Chain A
Amino acid sequence: MNRLLRDLLVALALGGLLALLPAALRELFGRSAVSYLTLATNALLLGVLALSWDMLARTGQLSLAHAAFTGVGAYSAAVLLRFAEVPVWLGIPLGGVLAALLALVLGAATLRLYGIYFAIATLAFTEVLRTVVQKLPAHIAGGAPGINVPPLFRPTFVAGQMERWEVAFLRNQGYFWVYLGLLVLAVAISIALQRSRLRSAFTAIRTNEEVAGVMGVNPARTKLVAFAVSSFVAGLLGAVEAHRLGSVSPDGSFAVHTTVLALVTPIFGGLYTTVGPILGAGVLAALEETLKRTFSEGYLIGYGIVLVASILFMPRGLVGLLTGIGRRLTGRGSRGAGATTGTLDGTPLPSGDPPSASTEAKP
């Protein structure tokens, strides 16, 4: 409990420090802080998405349904506002709750599916849900064009007292803080999971579900908890993003791209850790923007090359790389954060094991 409290305090302190970033950017760069803030917010969003996905992945469940959860969060915020004028401080959490409820239903249905079977089932679920939302009567869910969603922040421009970019700065600062809050919340949940008994339960289920059962872990209940927590965060994210982007639509809110990013980022950063997905999000976002600004054409080729190289040269992600460097520097044998991830963290398995046992359906 002591360590949990310490970690939470560290996370909170780092979050508080990061909350000063807008002011620092403004001090350093003036008006350019506006676009830097949006880029930083996009990176925070990616971090929340990745961490949310990782929480579920810790149980060995490889979800391809994250677009469904962000989509449901987005749509519930939009629909609630449309019919009940629910205030946003209630609408956004409700988006998370509805996403979590949906995850419980999906999780209960897919409890006995593993590996790629689970992945495809969740992907299929997303595609069906997208169509259902699109085919709902237009006066409810807006049909194909979707629904407008009002912004969370609309700072007023006072002529003579401020410049226009300062209005944009205030708005972006607002969204930055909201996403930072989401990230701190996600980190707190993630740390709480890592420091509770659930962590060993997650790892046990991921490594071998039968053994986990023998150890007294209830796999079904544990997986449902992970599913609900993970999608609660994703739902919150979707709801906030609906406000930021001004609309929800079936193609935009349930995009396969969201699911792919949710999965790619934690692998790149380091699976089954709190730091990894966030680190991955920051580096990937910065990488893409840097490449975009350096090469006018084909910049995504470089992005792809980095992903390929990252797996070849740092199979345990950024976290694995950093802990490796840290070990070498301190000269100690302790394996640090990477060690907790067991054999599924990217360390080559001993040659006695089949490389992808989890792709086979377990009876």
Chain B
Amino acid sequence: MDLSLLPQALVSGVLASGLYALVSVGLALAIGVIGIVNFAHGEFFMVGAFLAYQLFVSFGFDPLLSLLIVAPALAVIGGVIYLSTIRFVLKAPELNQMLLTFGVGIILQNLALVIWGGDPRSIANVPYRSIGYQLGGVSVGMVPLGSFVISVALVAALYWTLARTPLGRAMRAVAQNRVGAGLVGLEVNRVYLVAFALSALLAGMGGVMIAVIQSPTPTVGLAFTLKAFAIVVLAGLGNVRGIVGASLLVAVAESIVATMVPGGDALRNAVFFAIIFLVLIWRSRKVA
């Protein structure tokens, strides 16, 4: 085992947790506040990624600039989807919610296939995409660093919103007691609408980041969604702060195994999901 790679593995792992947190935080909001298991969340990433791509192709916008357009656009798309479908299944069993959102996902995915085709696309010029700062034999990538900072800031902002603002209090209220909140006069439906739009907005930001680091395709969202679901569950439903810790745990473990084990980079998903599996089991036993 070559220990000289360990520092790089640690740094890469810590930074990679940023992207994981970024793609998970919106989903945490949807599950935690609205109680909706959104199978179409990955398609929000996909749409965000394609919009960032399209803005680059049509207007030459840098993805960071596109963020300012894509995020609100996704909020609108999320809002429309909420009003046209989601709000009718709020009280339905979660299986019904899953089928509904799965259908929404299929629609979005195949719309993208018709509009953009199946070939991988790429944002040709992202000036900061390949920049890495070499510090004492360790490379710190600008994109991973940026997404790490952005996602920590987002999680902090979301946490603060939930804890300190009237909107956040309303969200927590409906999350904890849907009926009670209704009784005290909060407009539950409006809170849900805002929460779902916010969830889509956050997914859109994740999508822009995905467009920076890889190629938008109609199916680009799936791998991230599976991992985001796992991270949200690992953090504990409704625990927004826990997202950062959960992301850090799995990302660092993934990176260390990937780097230190021969052939390890192909084991990333196995390590990721093994940790999720073991933690869930261990936690369920501990509680009992």
Give chain A's interface residues, CB within 8 Å of chain B. Answer: 57, 62, 109-113, 115-117, 120-121, 123-125, 127-128, 130-132, 135, 256, 260, 263-264, 267-268, 271, 297-298, 300-301, 303-308, 310-312, 315, 344-346, 348-349, 351-352, 354-356, 358-361, 363
The stretch of B1-9, B48-56, B276-284 that contacts the partner chain: B276-284
Would A355 and B233 be within 8 Å (CB), given that A115-B94, A267-B99 are in contact?
no
User: Do B95 and A307 have beta carbons less than 8 Å apart?
Assistant: no
24 A–B contacts, CB within 8 A, in A order? A109-B281, A112-B284, A120-B230, A120-B233, A120-B276, A120-B280, A123-B226, A123-B230, A124-B276, A124-B277, A124-B280, A127-B226, A127-B272, A131-B266, A264-B102, A271-B95, A304-B107, A305-B107, A307-B103, A308-B85, A312-B89, A346-B92, A354-B178, A356-B94
- Complex contact A267–B96 (CB within 8 A): yes
For the complex, what is the distance from the CA of A300 to the CA of B104, rounded to whole Å? 11
User: What chain A residues lie within 8 Å of B85 (beta carbons)?
Assistant: 308, 312
B96 to A359, Cβ gap below 8 A?
Answer: no
> When the two chains form their complex, are residues A117 and B280 in contact, meaning their CB atoms are under 8 A apart?
yes
Q: Which one of A116, A308, A349 lies within 8 Å of B37 (CB-CB)?
A: A116
Per the bound structure, the CA–CA distance linking A294 and B226 in Å amounts to 33
Residues of A within 8 A of B270 (CB): 127-128, 130-132
Known interface pairs A116-B237, A117-B284; A352-B110 also in contact (CB < 8 Å): no
Contact between B92 and A268 (Cβ–Cβ < 8 Å)?
Answer: no
Q: Measured between C-beta atoms, what is the minimum distance from B90 to chain A in Å?
A: 6
Q: Could you tell me the dominant secondary structure of chain B's interface residues?
A: helix
* Other A-B pairs beyond A120-B233, A131-B270, 5, CB < 8 Å: A111-B284, A268-B99, A271-B95, A308-B103, A315-B92
B185 to chain A, nearest CB (A): 16
- Closest B residue to A313 using CB positions: B88
- Cβ–Cβ < 8 Å partners of B269 in chain A: 127, 131
Residues A312 and B100 in contact in the complex (CB < 8 Å), given A131-B267, A307-B106, A355-B92: yes
Nearest-CB residue, chain A, relative to B81? A308
Interchain CA distance A128-B31 in the complex, whole Å: 25
User: Measured between alpha carbons, how far is A315 from B85 in the docked complex, in Å?
Assistant: 13
Q: Is B159 an interface residue (CB 8 A)?
A: no
In the assembly, what is the distance between CA of A271 and CA of B98, in Å?
13
Looking at the assembled complex, report how far the CB atom of B60 sits from the nearest CB atom of chain A, in whole angstroms.
Answer: 29
Contact B226 A307 (CB under 8 A): no
The answer to whether B37 and A311 have CB atoms under 8 Å apart is no
Q: Are B229 and A360 in contact (CB under 8 A)?
A: no
Partner of A121, one of B114, B222, B272, B276: B276
Contact A310 B99 (CB under 8 A): yes
Check B287 for interface membership: any CB of A closer than 8 A: yes
- 1/0 contact trace for B66-104 toward A, CB 8 Å? 000000000000000000010011111111111110111
CB distance from B133 to the nearest CB of A (A): 33
A301 touches B226 (CB 8 A): no
Query: With contacts A128-B277, A264-B99, A268-B99 known, is A348 near B105, CB below 8 A?
Result: no
